[in-house]
């Protein structure tokens, strides 16, 4: 790790000073020639939303929106975000799926100190991989993500692709009642099961929106599940479509029928938009999420061919022959471990027999594994419970190899939806030094124990 935990704790003020006032800012102010397309000033602040007609929901937003402002970066280039915390509580930004230096990963006490109200931090890193990513706090996650602090981050391919049209769809269920007031983000009896679900489903912050699509064209549909809890059983009715990427990483395109998109996961589809009048609907199982409205009319006499596959990201190929093997058991520990209090006081879940406690910083000294820089590893991930867990790693991308439940065509990802009682093997090269969080992305599972850290040094 480039910043040890000890340095971080002892020299906290120094680190904040370095990040906030040091080299980064100087460069920023003195070199206005840096590409302005990929530089943002972003803040997190309270935001009144009208999710239920006639009622105000006191949400939180990035850049005055919830879901947050869409950020774009170009593969191989720097993304710079000067971020100001205008909340009444501490926060950070984590860049989900981006392979970046640990100092930019947004985990409190690992990457940076929690940003207090009024503080500014410059996030500045190169984005090595193209695809659909997102950003969110890594502090008081149940509440902060639940109230709207989730935003899409799109990294454009270094070379142009054959896609001419794009739509970004952010899925989120809001934990609100009929009057738009927030309900509990985490209820112990739900946290101990599948997680606490919100009531109102939205796409881009609207319940059942109508989204325009150009007739006869092929559109890249980026669907991001930025919900705390829900796994969507995605289907698209009324149009032919193919999967081009999973969690940012390209695959060899295959026809799209149905896909279980867990919290934190993303899917890029190519949709062949029919001619005017056709009904195209995005569904979660039997439920409608969004209607597409086909506009214009195509002049093309012949159907356009499907776009070429997207170029692979530069992720290191694990050496399976020499890989070391590690096992991670994700299990339910049963019962309420304490008799009263908020969800944060409970632990229902464990990774390899240990429940992570977000309030106990000494957990950071006990990573579940210590990996050697440059070495390949195969993780056997075993779900010993009856609920599914989208297992996510920070800082690196792993390759899904196999599962005892289904046939897998190996692919790279940062989040794997581990089904009930499923065991899956994933592999990675430990090529990014740091202390990386490894957790379930059902937020109340994560906050009741289902998190650990993996050290690479
Ligand atoms: Cu979206 Cu710790 O991650
Ligand atoms: Cu992440
Ligand atoms: Cu989980």
3-state SS, residue 70? coil
- Decide whether any atom of ligand 1 lies within 6 Å of the 264 Cβ: yes
Q: Give CA–CA dist 58/51, Å, rounded.
A: 10
- Helix or strand run (H / E) with residue 415: strand 415-418
CATH number of 5-156: 2.60.40.420
- The CATH number of the structural domain formed by 165-295 is 2.60.40.420
- Looking at residue 258, what is its pLDDT? 97
> Is the CB of residue 85 less than 8 Å from the CB of residue 116?
yes
Ligand nearest to the CA of 107: 1
Long-range contacts of 59-65 (CB under 8 A, 24+ apart): 59/147, 59/148, 60/87, 60/144, 60/147, 60/148, 60/149, 61/148, 61/149, 62/135, 62/149, 62/151, 63/151, 65/151, 65/205
**Average pLDDT of the chain to the nearest whole number:** 90
Task: State mean pLDDT over 108-127.
Answer: 97
Starting from the CA of residue 98, give the closest ligand. 2
Strands (E), 274-388: 280-284, 287-295, 324-332, 349-351, 369-371, 376-383
Asked if domains 5-156 and 165-295 share a fold, the reply is yes
Q: How far is the CA of 188 from the centre of ligand 3 (A)?
A: 14
**263: CA distance to ligand 1 center in Å?**
10
**Whether the Cβ atoms of residue 135 and residue 66 lie closer than 8 Å to each other:** no
303 confidence band (pLDDT: 50, 70, 90): confident
Which has more pLDDT, 35 or 73? 73
Ligand 1 site, residue 220, Cβ cutoff 6 A: no
Q: Which residues contact 388 (CB under 8 A, 6 or more apart)?
A: 194, 231, 262, 417, 418, 419, 420
pLDDT of residue 410: 98
Q: Nearest-CA neighbor of 137 among 85, 188, 174?
A: 85
**How does pLDDT run across 187-234, given as a tens digit for each residue?**
999 999 999 999 999 999 999 999 999 999 999 999 999 999 999 999
pLDDT (tens digit, 9 = 90+) per residue, 253-297?
999 999 999 999 999 999 999 987 778 999 999 999 999 999 887
Structure confidence at residue 36 (pLDDT): 67
* Res 360: pLDDT: 86
Q: Is the pLDDT of residue 337 over 80?
A: no
292 closest CA partner among 169, 173, 172? 169
Residue ranges per domain, the chain? Answer: 5-156, 165-295, 324-456
Name the pLDDT band for 11 (thresholds 50, 70, 90). very low
Could you say which DSSP state residue 68 is in? P
Burial class (CB in 10 A: 0-12, 13-18, 19+), 25: middle
- The CATH number assigned to the domain with range 324-456 reads 2.60.40.420
Å from CA of 270 to ligand 1 middle: 26
Mean pLDDT of 5-13: 40
Q: Which-ligand-closest: CA of 384?
A: 3
Torsion angles phi and psi, residue 345, rounded to 5: -90, 0
Q: Which residue's alpha carbon is nearest to atom 3 within ligand 1?
A: 96
> Which residues have C-beta within 8 Å of that of residue 10, sequence separation ≥ 6?
none
Q: Where does the pLDDT of residue 334 fall: very low under 50, low under 70, confident under 90, or very high at 90 and above? A: low
Distance CA 160, CA 234 (A): 28
Complex-level ipTM: 0.99
For 351-392, the pLDDT digits (tens) are 999 898 888 888 899 999 999 999 999 999 999 999 999 999
**Is the bond into 334 cis (omega within 30 degrees of 0)?**
no
Q: Minimum mean pLDDT among 27-41, 61-75, 140-154: which range? A: 27-41
* Of 302 and 43, the one with more pLDDT: 43
pLDDT score of 37? 65
Residue 264 CA, closest ligand 1 atom number: 1
Residue 145, SS3? helix
Residue 102 is classified by DSSP as: G
**Mean pLDDT value of segment 316-320:** 98
């Amino acid at each position: 790790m480039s910043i040890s935990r000890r340095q971080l704790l002892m020299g906290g003020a120094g680190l904040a000073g370095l990040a906030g006032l040091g080299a980064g800012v100087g460069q920023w102010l003195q070199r206005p020639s840096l590409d302005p397309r990929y530089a943002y000033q972003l803040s997190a602040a309270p935001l009144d939303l009208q999710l239920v007609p006639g009622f105000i929901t006191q949400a939180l937003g990035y850049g005055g929106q919830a879901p947050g402002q869409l950020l774009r970066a170009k593969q191989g280039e720097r993304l710079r975000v000067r971020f100001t915390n205008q909340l009444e509580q501490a926060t950070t930004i984590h860049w989900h799926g981006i392979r970046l230096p640990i100092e930019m990963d947004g985990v409190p006490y690992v990457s940076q100190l929690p940003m207090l109200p009024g503080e500014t931090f410059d996030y500045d890193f190169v984005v090595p991989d193209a695809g659909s990513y997102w950003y969110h706090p890594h502090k008081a996650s149940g509440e902060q993500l639940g109230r709207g602090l989730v935003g899409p981050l799109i990294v454009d391919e270094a070379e142009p692709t054959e896609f001419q049209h794009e739509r970004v769809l952010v899925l989120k269920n809001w934990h609100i009642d009929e009057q738009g007031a927030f309900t509990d983000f985490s209820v112990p009896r739900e946290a101990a099961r599948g997680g606490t679900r919100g009531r109102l489903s939205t796409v881009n912050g609207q319940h059942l929106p109508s989204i325009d699509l150009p007739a006869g064209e092929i559109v890249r549909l980026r669907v991001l599940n930025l919900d705390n809890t829900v796994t969507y059983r995605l289907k698209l009715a009324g149009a032919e479509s193919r999967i081009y990427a999973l969690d940012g990483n390209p695959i060899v395109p295959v026809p799209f029928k149905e896909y279980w998109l867990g919290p934190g996961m993303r899917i890029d589809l190519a949709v062949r938009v029919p001619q005017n009048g056709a009904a195209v609907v995005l569904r979660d199982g039997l439920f409608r999420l969004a209607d597409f409205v086909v506009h214009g009319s195509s002049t093309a006499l012949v159907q356009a061919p499907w776009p070429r596959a997207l170029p692979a990201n530069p992720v290191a190929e694990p050496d399976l022959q020499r890989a070391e093997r590690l096992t991670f058991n994700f299990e339910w520990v049963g019962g309420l471990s304490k008799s009263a209090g908020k969800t944060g006081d409970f632990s229902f879940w464990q990774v390899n027999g240990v429940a992570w406690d977000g309030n106990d910083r000494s957990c950071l000294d006990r990573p579940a594994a210590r990996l050697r820089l440059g070495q390949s590893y195969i993780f056997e991930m075993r779900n010993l419970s009856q609920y599914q867990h989208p297992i996510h790693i920070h800082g690196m991308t792993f390759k899904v190899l196999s599962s005892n439940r289904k046939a897998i065509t190996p692919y790279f990802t940062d989040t794997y939806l581990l089904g009930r009682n499923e065991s899956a093997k994933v592999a990675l090269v430990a090529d990014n030094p740091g202390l990386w969080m490894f957790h379930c992305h059902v937020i109340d599972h994560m906050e009741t124990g289902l998190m650990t850290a993996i050290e690479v040094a």
